[in-house]
Structure formats: C-alpha cells, structure tokens
Amino acid sequence: MIPVGLKAQQLPHFTQYMFNDYVLNPAIAGTKDYYQVRAISRFQWVGIVDAPQTINLSINGPHSEKSMGFGGYLYNDVTGPTSKTGVYGSYAYNINIVNNIRLSMGLSLGILQNTIDGTKITLHDIDDPVLQDGVYSTWVPDAAIGFYFYDENWFGGFSAFQLFSNNLKVYDEKSGLNRLKQHYYLMGGYRFDISPQFSIEPSLFLKGTSHVTPQIDINARVTYQEMVWLGLSYRSQDAVSLLLGYIHNKRYYFGYAYEFGITEFRNYNSGTHEIMIGLRFNPIKK
C-alpha cells in the first residue's frame, strides 16, 4: 500500500501561480495597462499511473479608457478516469483609494463539467457493467468573486470560488452526490528593488476550505534586469519547488518549475514538472 495524504482541495493548483494570478482572483483583470495571455501545463507526480495533469489558459486586460477590466480562462484537470473542465468570463472595476493605492473588485461566471470515464475503471470483486461501459458527465454553473489592493510595488487580495456550492450528480443520482465546496484564497507580496539590476519579490498564497487545514505557499523570486528570474517556493505539508524563467523583449514569457515532495509519497514518484508560456501585448490604457 502506498501511503498518501489526501487533501480535500477540489480546485487545481499551480506552483507558478504568480504568473497567472488572474485565475486565482477575478479582480486582477485589467489592473495592468495591457492585455496578456498565459498558459500553464502541470504534470504532477511523474511516474505514478494516472497521476494528475492540468492545463490552464487565460487572457485578461483593461478597458482602453475606463477603470475596468475583462478576462476569460479555461482549465482542464484530469486524474485517471475523472476529469474537470471549467470555462469562465470575468469583469472587474477598480477605483483609486489614496495616493497610488487602488482597489479592484471582480466577478467571474462560468460553467463547470465533471466527467467519469467508466471505460478506464477496473472494478475488483464488483460486477457493474453499466459503470464500466459508460462515460458520465454533469454540467453546473459556477461563480467567483475577488478583491485586490495594489500599487506599483505591493499587492494583496482575497477571493472566493465555487460560490454556488452545487451538487454534482454523476452516474448515480442517489449515491453519486458530491457537493462543490467553497474555496477561499488570500495572497500578498512586495517587490524590493535592491539595485538597478536586481529585484526580489517575496509573496505568500493561503488556500482554505471548510473542514480542511489551510495550506500556504511561501515564495521568493529574484529577477535580473526584468528579464531572468530564479525562485524558491514552499507549500506546507506538500512540496518544495525551484522556479526559473526568462522574458524576451518584455513580451514573451517562459517559465519552468520543478517540484519535489517533502512527504513519504516522494518515494513513489520523480516529482512534478510545470511549464508556463505567456504573451504580453502593447499597452492600450490611455
């Protein structure tokens, strides 16, 4: 038997979340003066059969004249015979609080599909040809809200996901009920310019849901000439990660993270790999 510590987090997570933070807080849409696209692919616990694989693609940016932003994203999370796909659109409005400090408030609405592929399930001592021969799927509406404070050098935000707490009815309406739990995120960070060439940005990301011990990511990233970065990340009771990346012409983003576990489960896999690519468009804010 493989000792595995299960956590009741229903949403996928990413080590390089700081490069795609909009998908963790809809209020971030439009807080920059340009549109940007981000894509992340995560290959978790390499070496384990049917280990989780997740992809995420997002775009967000501002209105050219008004203090508002728009965005959209999709993700697909597959673990063995189960998968989850979400498609969302977002709107955010931001206001000036004092000096250069601004507050942005955002809302995401979307639809979520949960699927069980029975053809990939092998049952032992149970004869259920209906389950094994079919693919069962359910669709539910979903929503998230967020609040985000920021200025040129620091940020802090709070967001809540799966607000509707829908019941999922997959395969068997009597025994297949699964309620989507609300998830709460708290994030913050500060950028220190330690020289004309180097900056360092520590940040943290706290994730929580009901009846589960909150999980915290603590990160620090050093950037050289706003072009190359190297960072470390620690996720409580889970893993430590090395991050590195490169920005070409302040437009094209490339990032990689290698994550190795700090629990006994690390003996059964060769770690987690995560790849990020991005594109930054020209500023449109007037």
pLDDT tens column, 13-54:
899 999 999 999 999 999 999 999 999 999 999 999 989 999
Task: Work out the burial of residue 215: count CB atoms within 10 Å of its CB; fewer than 13 is exposed, 13-18 middle, 19 or more buried.
Answer: middle
The closest alpha carbon to 7, from 185, 207, 157, belongs to 207
Task: Work out the burial of residue 185: count CB atoms within 10 Å of its CB; fewer than 13 is exposed, 13-18 middle, 19 or more buried.
Answer: buried
Spatial contact of 90 and 26, defined as CB atoms under 8 Å apart: yes
**Cα 167 to the center of its chain, rounded Å:** 22
Per-residue pLDDT reduced to its tens digit, 235-260: 998 999 999 999 999 999 999 999 99
Residues 6+ apart with CB under 8 A from 78: 52, 53, 54
Per-residue pLDDT reduced to its tens digit, 98-124: 988 999 999 999 999 988 887 776 665
Domains of the chain as residue ranges with CATH: 17-280 (2.40.160.60)
Its pTM stands at 0.89
Tell me what the mean pLDDT of segment 174-193 comes to: 83
Q: Provide the mean pLDDT of the chain.
A: 89
- Looking at residue 170, what is its pLDDT? 61
Rg over alpha carbons for the chain, rounded to the nearest Å, is 20
- Looking at residue 175, what is its pLDDT? 41
With a pLDDT cut of 90, the percent of the chain lying above it is 73
- Label residue 3 by pLDDT band (50, 70, 90): very low
